[in-house]
Amino acid sequence: MDTQEACPKCGAPLDAISETPTGRKLQRCSKNIWNAEARKSEGCDYVKWIAVEPQTLDEACPKCGAALVLQVTRFGKKMKKCSKGGWDKETKKSTGCDYVEWINGATEPLDEACPECDKPLVLFTTNSGKRMKKCSTSGWDRASRTATGCTYVEWLK
């Protein structure tokens, strides 16, 4: 990793690479200072986003058997895709295997009971980083494309 890189805005060295909660990597200017009291950053606002290299997974593509790779989009969404899949820039068409599996946000069990059915609640973080409390009995039936179980949801700010 080249941390000696200079900020194109002010010439100061860039900080070490850090990672956002959504898995995106970035490097800030070392002249960027977080003011905890004012809850804002001060100084140089240059941020360099780093392309996250796809990570090869120890899983085989259910369509063609090739290795799957984990990829993070520009918006922090995660997906597993087939390493044989590609994109032809000239024809603007995908090439090879088109298997893609989006990874849903993370759930954490909570020490709270659902006000509707008394089952435990879970904290769900969406791919875009929004958080909600939902009932642990809720689910999604892929075949019929309908929600199952308790529908209690409380979005957190």
**Among 3, 60, 63, 107, which residue interacts with Zn ion (rule: CB under 5 A)?**
63
The interface mask with Zn ion, positions 79-118, x = CB under 5 A, is ---x-x------------x-x--------------x-xx-
* DSSP string computed for 78-106: EEEEETT-EEETTTTEEES---EEEEPPP
Which range in 49-57, 59-67, 70-78, 126-134 contacts Zn ion by CB under 5 A? 59-67
Q: Is 39 left (phi over 0), alpha (psi -120 to 50) or beta?
A: left
CB 26 within 8 A of CB 46: no
Contacts of 24 (CB under 8 A, 6+ apart): 49, 50, 52, 72, 74, 76
Total residues at interface with Zn ion (CB under 5 A): 22
**Residue 133: strand pairing partners:** 123, 154
Question: H-helix or E-strand containing 125?
Answer: strand 120-125
CB 55 within 8 A of CB 72: no
Nearer to Zn ion, 43 or 76 (CB): 43
Question: Does the protein bind Zn ion through residue 46 (CB under 5 A)?
Answer: yes
**Among 27, 29, 81, 122, which residue interacts with Zn ion (rule: CB under 5 A)?**
29
In whole angstroms, the minimum distance from the beta carbon of 10 to Zn ion comes to 3
How does DSSP classify residue 144?
A: T
**Among 27, 28, 44, 124, which residue interacts with Zn ion (rule: CB under 5 A)?**
44
Question: Does the protein bind Zn ion through residue 122 (CB under 5 A)?
Answer: no
In whole angstroms, the minimum distance from the beta carbon of 98 to Zn ion comes to 8
In whole angstroms, the minimum distance from the beta carbon of 133 to Zn ion comes to 10
Which range in 21-29, 72-80, 103-111, 124-132 contacts Zn ion by CB under 5 A? 21-29
